[in-house]
């Protein structure tokens, strides 16, 4: 696999999270999306990281909503709004 902070690793984790989300496997979706979020800060390609951060956070918020973690989803969506 790639190095920590490699955009390919982050993109792969994001895709795995989206696949699990679409299949209804929400705990695994949350795990993959959380790992993608955690690695964004170490991404060596800052331009790419800045272009995808909102998409990953929105996908993660959707998982929180589907799992019934509404307070957590609200906090994450507030962060997204403040980022814009």
DSSP state of 83: H
The distance between the two most distant Cα atoms of the chain, rounded to a whole number of Å, is: 35
Over the stretch 6-34, which tens digit does the pLDDT of each residue have? 899 999 999 999 999 999 999 999 999 99
pLDDT at position 26 is 98
Is residue 2 scored above 70 in pLDDT? no
Over the stretch 29-83, which tens digit does the pLDDT of each residue have? 999 999 999 999 899 888 999 899 999 999 999 999 999 999 999 999 998 888 7
DSSP state of 38: H
Would you list the domain boundaries of the chain? 7-83
pLDDT at position 1 is 44
Long-range contacts of range 64-73, CB-CB < 8 Å, 24 or more positions apart? 64/30, 66/21, 66/26, 67/26, 67/27, 67/30
């Amino acid at each position: 696999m790639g190095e920590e902070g490699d955009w390919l690793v982050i993109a792969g984790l994001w895709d795995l999270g989206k696949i699990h989300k679409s299949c209804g496997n929400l705990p695994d979706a949350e795990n993959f999306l959380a790992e993608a979020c955690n690695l964004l800060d170490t991404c060596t390609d800052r331009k790419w990281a800045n272009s995808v951060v909102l998409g990953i956070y929105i996908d993660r918020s959707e998982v929180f909503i589907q799992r019934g973690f509404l307070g957590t989803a609200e906090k994450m969506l507030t962060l997204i709004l403040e980022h814009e």
